[in-house]
Structure 1
Amino acid sequence: MTTASATTGTLRVPDARLHYEVRGSGPLVAFVGAPMDAQAFEPLADLLATDHTVLTTDPRGIHRSPVDDPEQDSTPPLRAGDLARLIEHVDAGPAVALGSSGGACTVLALAQAHPGQARAVIAHEPPLAELLDDREELRKGTDDMIATYLAGDVMGAWKKFMAQADISLPEGALDQMFGGERDPQQVADERRWFEHEMFETSFWRPDIAALRAGGTRVVAAVGEDSAGELCDRATRALAGALGIEPTLFPGGHIAFTEDPDGFAVRLREVLADIP
């Protein structure tokens, strides 16, 4: 696969400097993660850049997007404001914004507060625990896993995270992912996520009435392999509240990194259905 050349830049926004990348030409598509950075979307961005302008970014406080106050929490509305400024800055919008995981919460907040910046948002597996009936139990579990991480038990925190998310991994996978010598930047981003982003994202409640009344189309996207996982339940709860059907994508929670080719094929089908 030929790698599309990317133009990189930095945009100053309130309290932060955002690293962003632009590829290709054509209608604007933005790929949004939280805490995933622009690098996580590179293979998918290269595939779409053949006939789209593709915007990716490191969210505030992650990797190449430093914040003025490291103790400031990262919330979906705050990140949505950043995304709106980026879309305006690249001057190729309005966009179709695909957000995955915490980034899905970001694009939902974008649709609520900045509807003019997006024709549609594709919320791929948002961890909207606040929409679920067991939200109080999930809230306690999240508090516990954050406390476990901040006490220094990284592996214990990840085990609790996977258990609460209902994600099953092969034996030894956690050790491969989070054990041994690790990249310092990855560790710094991970700590920020646990300390200043996870809770604020998972327990943000979208304004369903505003989303239903707004001019931005909302697609609630879920992986075919995610059945029964927390994000599957949350996405289906979102779809039910909005009165829409969930849109299935191949793979699981991080399918866009594991099978970007298959994900891109399905994404093109969804994009073709958006006016």
Structure 2
Amino acid sequence: MTAPTISSLRVNGATLHYEVRGRGPLVLLIPGGTGGAASFDGMAEDLAADGYTVVGYDPRGMSRSTLDDPDAEQHVAEHADDALRILDLLSPDEPALVFGASSGAIVALHLLTAHPERIARVVTHEPPVVEVLPDAAEHRALVARVQDTFRTQGLMPAMAVFAAGLNKDGDTKDGDTAEPEARPGLPPRAAARAEQTMADLPYFVGRIVPGFMSYAPDIRRLEGLSDRLVIAGGQDSRGELPYRSAAFLAERLGTELQHFPGGHVGLTTHPAEFGELLRKAFRS
């Protein structure tokens, strides 16, 4: 694997870690959940080899991207402004291709609506925009339960409540909503990534979940930009909450939901197949 060029960018209230591979039109990869630039390692090099400049980064507060105020509330618009700053730095004169996964897909949606002139095409994989759903009130209550459990019982009970609310069968078995925990026998790189995931979980649960799952996309604005937007769901996550949100949003916009391999984290479980479909989506 070719090592990326690693840099940092100072933004409002944070310092972002980002990684660049290849040469060509810019592809910005926006990770979701507790993922960072490392979550794209399995497909970023193939994208770069296909003639793109590929940029992944750690969202503010995650992994190597530090916050000036670790207790600051997190807002989708501010995260989208971070992504814009990267675009302006690395592709100031040309619109970019953007991929966002999960909470990163919410960021990508906001980036498209706020700065469409900077975007050539956006692919969003299972954005959990629960506010578009008819039963949105139930999911607001879920977020409130997660936050209450986090405050009163701690991280892992809160994650159990969250996973049960996301999964179609209401339990936590075979969940595909987060990166795996660190386990004995993992290769060193995977073990380090799993360890970082666990370290980022409190921030994700306490800051990202409430800040992002309350976000309501601008449907009317997205309707006018739908020719630049691909909404995708996982082949194996039908019925789960992020899939439902993506499918309902696609229906509202009158577009076809595209299916990518795997479930909610298919980009890490099926990186080659996922990357191949992503390249096709960028070209369509």
TM-score strictly above 0.5: yes
The structural deviation recorded for 1:215 is 8.2
Correspondent of 1:221 among 223, 232, 248: 232
* CA distance in structure 2 between the partners assigned to 1:255 and 1:186 by the alignment: 17
Moved more, 219-228 or 186-195: 186-195
Residue deviations 1:88-129, cap 9 Å, x none? 111274211110000000000000111122111111000111
Correspondent of 2:173 among 169, 172, 175: 169
* CA distance in structure 2 between the partners assigned to 1:164 and 1:61 by the alignment: 25
The structural deviation recorded for 1:159 is 1.7
Residue deviations 1:138-182, cap 9 Å, x none? 1111111122123343332222111110165349xx9x7379999
Moved more, 131-140 or 185-194: 185-194
* CA distance in structure 2 between the partners assigned to 1:215 and 1:20 by the alignment: 28
* CA distance in structure 2 between the partners assigned to 1:7 and 1:178 by the alignment: 27
Question: What is the match of residue 48 of structure 1?
Answer: 47
Correspondent of 2:21 among 20, 23, 27: 23
SS at match of 1:226: coil
RMSD in angstroms over aligned alpha carbons? 2.4
SS at match of 1:108: helix
* CA distance in structure 2 between the partners assigned to 1:101 and 1:128 by the alignment: 9
* CA distance in structure 2 between the partners assigned to 1:64 and 1:48 by the alignment: 23
The structural deviation recorded for 1:185 is 4.4
The structural deviation recorded for 1:223 is 0.9
1:8 equivalent to 2:19? Answer no
Gaps of 5+ in 1: none
The structural deviation recorded for 1:188 is 3.9
SS at match of 1:63: coil
Question: What is the match of residue 122 of structure 2?
Answer: 121
Gaps of 5+ in 2: 185-190
Contact 1:6 1:23 in 2 (8 A): yes
Moved more, 184-193 or 260-269: 184-193
**Match of 1:197, as an amino acid?**
I
Contact 1:121 1:217 in 2 (8 A): yes
- Give TM-score, length-normalised by structure 2: 0.87
Question: What is the match of residue 67 of structure 2?
Answer: 67
Contact 1:142 1:199 in 2 (8 A): yes
1:95 equivalent to 2:96? Answer yes
* CA distance in structure 2 between the partners assigned to 1:204 and 1:216 by the alignment: 22
Question: What is the match of residue 156 of structure 2?
Answer: 155
SS at match of 1:197: helix
* CA distance in structure 1 between the partners assigned to 2:21 and 2:274 by the alignment: 18
* Identity between Structure 1 and Structure 2 (%): 35
- Flag the 1:164–1:215 CA change in 2: closer, same or farther, 3 A: closer
SS at match of 2:67: coil
- Flag the 1:42–1:178 CA change in 2: closer, same or farther, 3 A: closer
Moved more, 142-151 or 98-107: 142-151
Matches within 5 A, 1:99-248: 99-166=100-167, 169-170=173-174, 177=181, 185-214=196-225, 217-248=228-259
The structural deviation recorded for 1:219 is 0.8
* CA distance in structure 2 between the partners assigned to 1:261 and 1:32 by the alignment: 18
* CA distance in structure 2 between the partners assigned to 1:269 and 1:194 by the alignment: 33
**Match of 1:26, as an amino acid?**
G
Contact 1:115 1:216 in 2 (8 A): no
1:39 equivalent to 2:50? Answer no
